[in-house]
Amino acid sequence: MNEVLYKIGLRLARIKYVRHAIDDRAGLSEFRKPPTVRILLGMFLIAGSMVMSWPVIVALSGTLAIYFHKPLLALIGGPVYILSHVCFITGMTLCGEKYSRIFIRWATRCGVEKLLSFGLKDQRPEPEP
């Protein structure tokens, strides 16, 4: 089994993206830097979209439609949900790409290095008598 995992690691290590991640020792040091205004705005939009979407749709639309016995009131939630989705996509565009690339690059390096470690023979020193 170890040999199969090692061979998978070797094949993956041939890919240019993986080679660069390993050679550059891709890490998560970028997360230590203070976030820029763009990143903060993106995170605010993502959080805002979560806060406004589901409680508004469920509480406002569904509850009012049931309370007043008017199912068309449930349509109020549609535009709110669309606005929430636009906020989420905008937030991901502003901040998601940068941090996603950093994390995926680090995870790629760690995963392939783990697969390549299966090829190392476990050489323990002989115990002395």
Domain count, the chain: 1
C-beta separation of 25 from 49 below 8 A: no
In a domain, 125, yes or no: no
In a domain, 128, yes or no: no
Structural domain of residue 65, as residue ranges? Answer: 2-27+35-117
In a domain, 45, yes or no: yes
In a domain, 124, yes or no: no
Reported as half-sphere exposure (CB side, CA atoms, 13 A), residue 53 has a value of 14
Cβ neighbourhood burial of 118 (10 Å; 0-12, 13-18, 19+)? middle
The whole model's pTM is what?
0.56
Q: Could you read off the pLDDT of 32-72 as tens digits, one per residue?
A: 888 888 888 888 888 888 777 767 667 777 787 888 888 77
What letter would DSSP give residue 127? Answer: P
Cβ neighbourhood burial of 41 (10 Å; 0-12, 13-18, 19+)? middle
In a domain, 129, yes or no: no
